[in-house]
Structure formats: structure tokens, C-alpha cells
Structure 1
Amino acid sequence: MGFGRRIGDTLRVPGRGVRRGIAVLVILMLAAATGSVIALTAPSMASKLGLGASTAAADVPAAPVPALRALNANAPLPTASGLAEALTPLAGSAGLGNFAGVVVDPAGGTTLWQRSPDQALAPGSTAKLLTTAAALLTLDSTQRLYTKVVAGPTPDSVILVGGGDPTLTALPAGKNSVYPQPARLDDLVADLRKTHPGPITRVLIDTSRYTGPTLAQGWDPADIPAGNITPIVPLMLDGGRVDPTLQDGPRVSQPALAAGRALAEKLGADQNSVTTAVAAPNAAVLGTVASAPISDLVENMLQNSDNVTAELLAREVAIARNGDPSFTGAAAQVLAALSQAGFATTGAVMVDGSGLSTSDRVPPRLLGTLLGAAAAPAQGADDPELLRPMLSGLPVAGGDGTLEDRFDTANSADGRGVVRAKTGTLSGVSSLAGVVTDADGRLLVFALISNGQSPATVRPQLDTIAATLSQCGCR
């Protein structure tokens, strides 16, 4: 199932290049006691690739409109009957197919509305919330992923050792890739010139950090040129992208080899002789570069639904938990980390860390519980609030990331700038899970999953449900 049959997570317009900037500022601040939300709505984007007719200009704000809403700790809680009256007719639409969802009050941890909440459905990329939570619970959020060069088996050779950083780039300083603060090959070369003054004629690559197949069950190799994925190895440039500045451009089929050849080119070594090797445990380290902190990688991954970053983070969770850094081992350790933290993972079945696999299954109750924990008020001044980056990385409705081109109908426009949510889209799979403030300034969490219907039909309906929450006191 390639791009022609699988619908990618965002259905973005081909050839857009670097993600378009828009005049939107959205700040979500969840303070320990009362908290606050500041949001600006933004105009819709054109060209929806058959996702439904765009709204007339009169239906959607033509310019950013301030929408200041303070979160009041004493804001009234929606009632079950009120939410049922508002949401049940929407959730009962035949066009939603096999649908399940929850609405949760994060302050109290109670479920306010539900429909088949424990039904495990294919989640698409909302499964990234599981990987995100496991990573934030397992890894230090300030931790970085390191790529290094060590001495090779001969005096004129070096080994490029992958450490799980997808952001490593061959771009020079001053030129940006799609990732924040990427590690640069040029810095490795500068280190090498100092620590290895002799000639370097051969570059080897070490990908032994990870094990097992490089493509997961349920993945299609056609998704590589389609831009959804690259083979999962611990060494790559720019997430395996052919063009490091294109978020959704095609990927390479041999990312580690491409990285090794790029380093060889910069060193003046033979690019055609690059091959795999395993560095000696005591090999001298000749240079090291680091990614941005884990918290930054998480935020970028959620905002852009980056499958590769999700898979690498899942493997780093497995390594930290002494598990096998393979698809099977990483998926098992992600669920184990959540279970150990007290989250009920009953019904969840993961075969990858990104949700790209059609074999993944997640109940919406688990998504709601994870987001509810992330959005819960701080428990005292010493609460580390480990899951907060889950919220700051969520795309903004009508504003950025994978929600940039959504919430553009008359029924959903009220959610623009107010809803923050992770999207999920595969053929026959649509999901949306995030946070929203209601008409009374109460923060709510929602998780919605639909299977069996075209995303072109379902996604506007999910947007409408979330937007309805933003306008509902529901008492």
C-alpha cells in the first residue's frame, strides 16, 4: 500500500516546500493553580486535496483575531447530560464509521463523555502520543542524542557511529533543515581535523545500535519515496530526506550509507568505499555532535507528525529500559513504560512507534488518560510535570503543524486557535486527540478515533466535534 492507497497523516499539498509561515501566535500556559490560555485564530489555507469544500471567506476569519481566555480553576465543569446533548448527535453520524471517543476533565481525572472508550481501533499517528509519553517518562528531557566519529581499523580510516539522532545534517551553519538546532557534519569534520591530522581515505558506518528489520509490519516500501518514512537505523541525515528543507519530500532507501558518503565527501575520502563496520568498544573518539534536547525533538515530532523521529525515540526508550532496540522491542518497552507509570494499556497493540502501521490498535481511553495527565494541574511546586511537552508540541487548529489546513468549515471554524491536537490519518483511519478550552474557560481533553470511512469524510466531522467543545458550556 503506497501513497496511492495509503493516505498520509496530513494530506499536505505536494511540492509546497518549506512549511508556509502564517501570522499566528499561540501560547498555551498551564499554570499550577489557575493557568491561562492565549490564542490567536488565523485564516484558512487553500487546496484541500478533496477534503471537502472550503468555507467562504465570510465563514472563517480573514485575519488573526485575538481570543484571550484565562483558565479559571473554578470554571464550571460540563455535565454528562450537557455533553451528551451536544456531542452524541455528532458522534452518531453514519459517516464516522466505527467510531469511539472520550472527553476528560484533566483537573479531576474524570471522564465526562464517552462512546466505546475501550474499543481498540487503528489510531494512525495519534499513536505517537504513546511514544511521546514513554519517552518523556523514561528519558531525561534535557538528554541529547549523539553521533560520533571514532578511529577506524587502519590509520587512514574512521567510523561514523550512529546514536539515534535523526536531525544530523550536511547543511552548513546558517542553513536550516526541518529540525530545530540540528547537529552538523561540518562540526564533526572540524573535530576530526584537530584530532586526526593525517589523511583520511575511507569512511565506515556503524549502525549496530539498533537491531532487527528496518521496516515495520504493515509498512509499505512505497512510503519511502512518498516521504512518510525511511528505513529505521540509528544513523541518517535529516530524517532520511533527499532534500533536507522539505518536510514532506521523498526519503532515501539507505539513510546510513547516504550519511557516510556525505562525510566522506566533506573529508575528501572515497565515497564509493563507504561500507558498514562495528566500532571497537575502546576505539578513540575523534569527534562528537549532539541533537537538540529530547523535549525539543518531541515537540517537533508531534507538530509535524514525524514518523522517523517517533521510531527513533521508541528505540531509545527500549535501550534505556534494557530492551531490544527493534520494532518489537521498542513497541513492547513503550507500553511497559506506560504501564509502569500507572497507565492502563489494556487493549493497546503496537508494532511500531509512529502509528504508521495498519496493525496498531489503541483505545481512545488510553489517549485521553495520557493527555489528561499531561494537562493536569501541577501537584505542588516540586511537581516535575514530565508530560507537559506533549501539550506544547500539539499542533494548533488552523495555525500550524498538521492542523494548519484544518478547521476550515462553517461547523469547525470556532475551534481555530483554540483546539490543540495530534492528528492521525491512514486509509480508512482518522483520529484527533488533544486539548480545548470550553466557553467557560474550562480545559478539556478529548480523544476521537474513526475506522472504516474515508478521511475526506471523517476529518471535518472530528474537527466539528472538537470545535463544538470549544463553544460549549454543556451544562
Structure 2
Amino acid sequence: MTTYLRISTALIAVTSLSVAFFSGPAVAAPTPSPSETTSPSPTASASPTASATPTPTPTQRIPPAGPFTPCSAGKTLTSSALGKLYGYVINADTGKVLIDVRGTEVTPSASVLKVLTAAAAIVTLPPTYRATTKVLSVPGQPGTIVLQGGGDHTLSNMTGDSYTTYYRPARLEALAAQVFAKWNEPTPINKIILDSSFFSGPTYTSAWKASDRTNGYISHITGLQVDSDRANPDLTSTAYNGYRSTNPVLATGKYFKAALDGLADGATLVEGKTPAGAVELTRVVSQPITNWLSHAIAVSDNTETEFIGRHAAKAAGLPASFDSIQKLVKSTLEPLGVDTKGLVMKDGSGLAQANRVTPKLIAELMVKVANNESGLGSLETYLPVAGKTGTLAGRFNGPNAMAQKFVKGKSGYIPGLYSLAGIIDAKDGSRLAYALFARSADGKKVGYAARPALDTAATRFYQCGGGLTR
């Protein structure tokens, strides 16, 4: 008996159990995760014989009517640690502009830009949207299969109890098990076509540094990759390595070939498009887009945000490319009344130094989020909370601890710029939308001290509430 037949016969028996285990909409094996972002599960319905429990009526928030006692931001906006400051604060209840410091001037954004990409995706994609990775056979080409990417950066090469930063992703091992279960050709697989054409255009922009990839900040943005192309994404391993390769597509093909142990030992890997007439053999699907959004905003995942932007662009009828991100955001937000004047998006994640936003643009978007206009309220639930979650978990300390739990915001950093923007539930009950950018410019410099200085300003906003003045 050949090695292929011995292995495949044994694995088919095991696969029958695997297929049962992986059945259902999420095909990947469940794995633990340090950053679970599951969608809320429906509450089980009561037994027909049980008496109904009255559902409490939610208390409707009543915004404070004022008048508000004037309360100056004072020295919190003039700290030398903030360099050249750009800021804008709006009372989300009344629409009144409370702070305007270069609010209509453009500045680099850093990762605050992610809220624009996320907002466009929330408006464009249904919350149940998922990415699908398929394996297809090719009639007339015995032994040939296609691994067709659907733009799932979370697709994982992990096995067993290993896990990555992404919650319960689809796994290559599940895909391989299903191929084994369904493979009925007399010969093993001899060719694997790797189709990454779900996305289009360049996979890496000249607006990023080459070191952004090697330092682990970003991967090539390809329609087919595993684990966001991290060299070792296993969070159970002491050898974790966030380095990204120059060819995620080929790397994925090698992992998949290995996962098909005994069935594709001699297979050739070829990058190309799916041949006409190819027949789907099996598939796995990602977690819903809401999981991606929650994780991307919480931990500021650059690759994840770029993938989210491309899925939204494609759903909007645009090419899934870098060039579409700005078009997507402008066409989504302008009809909502957000002023996008001056917006420049070289990417969707904020990593590019050439990105430009105005504080007014970001604050106006946050007003829409605070008031849940066009369903944007979900973005508020994704924002890190001061002193509690995400990138703000370790911030707002010392005198600023009074604002913990009450300040929500997306933080950002690129060399020469620190940023913070979001929503504040102020002490007086007001809801404030804010955007702050501390920049090295005009002879002024910013360093790490800009972070606590931004926290101090946001804390003052919390204290002042509706009476905030410059």
C-alpha cells in the first residue's frame, strides 16, 4: 500500500470525527483567545410552562440642559509636551463646538485614522458578513486543486491548543481534513493553484516603510494569507515572532501543502487565478466582521484594518485596493454630514506618514457615533476605555485616574505624532466628542510625554463637561 493510501485511509476515519466537530457556520476548531470579541449570544427562551419575567424598561438618558458653568481647559492645552496641538471638541448633545485649536487644519493622523475605515465598514457591511476561503477541484485536470483566498487574514495555521491574537479563526487543518474526506480521485494532489485575486492592486504601498513590515507593524495585503503573515503567531510559544514575509500567498500555500500530509507531497505550488469551470470542494469561513472591527480598534491591528477596508470597498462596488479607501470613506461619510475636506488616506490603518485629517472631521464623526446615527453606535463599543481596555488599559493614571471608565478613545502614534480621539461621558452628564493631535512641527517636538499630556487634556474635558471652554 502506498504512503498516500495508508495515510489517507487512516485520516479519512479521523476526518469523519473532524467533520462532525467542525460542522456549522464557523468551521474552524474552537481555540482559546486572550482577546475574545464574540458577538452577544441570544438569551435562551423561557420554558412554555414558566411564567414570563417582565423585561425592565431601559432608562432613557436625559442630556443635561444647562446652563453650564464655564470651565477652562487652561494649561492642559498649552503643555510643551503636546508640541503643535490640533484639537476639536463638540458637545454631542447640542452640537456646540467647545474647543477649536487648528480644528480645520490638516495633520497626520496615526492610528486614529482607523475610526474612519471602521465607520465606513459599519455602514457598508452587514454585521454578519464573513470572509470565505475555498478549495476547488478543476475538471479535466486530475490532481489539481485551487486554494482560493477570500480576504481572511485570520485564517490560521495553528493546530491543537495553540492560538493567535484572533478569536476562533478558521484553520487550515480543518480545510485539509475536509479535503481528505471528499477526495475521491485515484491519484494524489499534484498541483495547488494559489488564488489571491480577491484583492487587487499593489499589496504594499510606497507610503509605508520597508521596516514597518520587518518590525511587525504590517503585512503585505493579500487576498490569501494566514495569521496576518506573522512568522510565529502562536501566543502559547515563547518564540512568538511578528516579522512579516515578502510573499504571504506562497507561505500559505506551503502551510496548506504540509497540512495535506501524504496527499500533496509532490504537489507544485502555482500562484494564479481560479480556472473557469472549477468546482467547489469545500470551504471555511471567518468570524463575523464585528469581531474583526472590535479587535482591530481595541489593539490597533494595522493589517486587520486594511483587510476590513478592502472588504468594505468591494461591497461598495470599488476595487479592493489602496486607491479605494479614501473614495470609500468620503462617499460613506459625506452623506452623513461629516466634513471630509482635507482628507488624505494613503491607507486605511493610519500607518502612512502622508495621511491627513482635520480634528473637525474626526470629532464630527464621533458625534454621529455618540448618537448612534446610521448604526454607527457600535463603533463606540469598540473604542478602548481609559484605564480598562485595549490600548488605553495602562493609561489615565495618577491625577487622571478620575477619568477612567469615562473616556473612550482611539489612540495613535507614528514618529512625530501622538493622537487620541473618541467620546467622553463627562462628570456633569454631558457627552463630548473630541479629537486631539500632538505633532512635531514649527520647531516644536513631541515625545512619549505627549501620551500622558493628551490624557490630562481629556481628563480636563471630563471634569468640565458642557461648560468646557478653551
Give the structure-2-normalised TM-score.
0.80
Letter in 2 for 1:456: Y
2:294 counterpart (296, 299, 321): 299
- Structure 2: distance between partners of 1:123 and 1:413: 26
Percent of aligned pairs with the same amino acid: 33
Which region of structure 1 is more displaced relative to structure 2, 201-210 or 151-160?
151-160
Letter in 1 for 2:291: D
Shift of 1:356: 0.3
Shift of 1:456: 0.6
**Contact in 2 for aligned 1:419/1:435 (Cα 8 Å):** yes
Q: Helix, strand or coil: the match of 1:282?
A: coil
Distance 1:473 1:222, change over 3 A: closer
Q: Find out whether 1:371 has 2:393 as its counterpart.
A: no
- Structure 1: distance between partners of 2:57 and 2:363: 20
Q: Highest CA radius of gyration, 1 or 2?
A: 2
- Structure 2: distance between partners of 1:78 and 1:174: 58
2:282 counterpart (264, 279, 287): 287
Distance 1:20 1:260, change over 3 A: closer
Deviations 1:397-428 (A, max 9, x none): 222221122223x3422222322210110000
2:417 counterpart (408, 425, 429): 429
Aligned to 2:439: 451
Aligned to 2:303: 308
**Contact in 2 for aligned 1:145/1:291 (Cα 8 Å):** yes
1:225 counterpart (208, 214, 223): 214
Aligned to 1:461: 453
Shift of 1:77: 5.2
- Structure 2: distance between partners of 1:329 and 1:78: 45
- Structure 2: distance between partners of 1:214 and 1:351: 13
Q: Where does structure 1 lack aligned partners over 5 or more consecutive residues?
A: 1-17, 22-30, 36-71, 379-384
- Structure 2: distance between partners of 1:78 and 1:202: 73
Aligned to 1:403: 392
- Structure 2: distance between partners of 1:162 and 1:210: 9
Aligned to 2:164: 177
Deviations 1:129-178 (A, max 9, x none): 11001001111121111111112473212111111111100223654321
Distance 1:279 1:77, change over 3 A: farther
Distance 1:32 1:421, change over 3 A: farther
Aligned to 2:427: 439
Which region of structure 1 is more displaced relative to structure 2, 144-153 or 243-252?
243-252
Which region of structure 1 is more displaced relative to structure 2, 454-463 or 134-143?
454-463
Shift of 1:377: 5.7
Q: Find out whether 1:342 has 2:337 as its counterpart.
A: yes
- Structure 1: distance between partners of 2:393 and 2:333: 30
Q: Where does structure 2 lack aligned partners over 5 or more consecutive residues?
A: 1-31, 36-55
- Structure 2: distance between partners of 1:473 and 1:350: 32
Deviations 1:270-328 (A, max 9, x none): 48832301002431111111111111111110001011111111111221122222211
- Structure 2: distance between partners of 1:444 and 1:99: 19
Distance 1:245 1:288, change over 3 A: same
Letter in 2 for 1:177: T
Distance 1:108 1:305, change over 3 A: same
Aligned to 1:135: 121
**Contact in 2 for aligned 1:242/1:252 (Cα 8 Å):** yes
Q: Helix, strand or coil: the match of 2:251?
A: helix
Distance 1:33 1:351, change over 3 A: farther
- Structure 2: distance between partners of 1:209 and 1:471: 48
Q: Helix, strand or coil: the match of 1:472?
A: helix
**Contact in 1 for aligned 2:63/2:429 (Cα 8 Å):** no
Distance 1:374 1:34, change over 3 A: farther
Aligned to 2:8: none
- Structure 2: distance between partners of 1:272 and 1:398: 52
Aligned to 2:88: 102
Letter in 2 for 1:142: T
- Structure 2: distance between partners of 1:392 and 1:123: 21
Letter in 2 for 1:108: T
Q: Find out whether 1:212 has 2:201 as its counterpart.
A: yes
Shift of 1:124: 0.2
Distance 1:340 1:181, change over 3 A: farther
Shift of 1:89: 2.4
Q: Helix, strand or coil: the match of 2:136?
A: strand
**Contact in 2 for aligned 1:243/1:249 (Cα 8 Å):** yes
Question: After TM superposition, where is structure 1 displaced by more than 6 Å over at least 4 residues in a row?
Answer: 18-21
* 1:5-404 equivalence runs, <5 A: 72-76=61-65, 79=68, 82-83=70-71, 85=72, 87-152=73-138, 154-172=141-159, 174-198=161-185, 199-246=188-235, 249-268=242-261, 269-270=264-265, 273-376=268-371, 386-404=375-393
Shift of 1:352: 0.6
Shift of 1:217: 3.1
Letter in 2 for 1:460: P
- Structure 2: distance between partners of 1:32 and 1:178: 37
Q: Helix, strand or coil: the match of 1:242?
A: strand
- Structure 2: distance between partners of 1:317 and 1:342: 20
Aligned to 2:49: none
Letter in 2 for 1:208: S
- Structure 1: distance between partners of 2:67 and 2:224: 49
Q: Helix, strand or coil: the match of 1:250?
A: strand
Shift of 1:195: 2.8
- Structure 1: distance between partners of 2:75 and 2:67: 17
Aligned to 1:53: none
- Structure 2: distance between partners of 1:251 and 1:461: 33
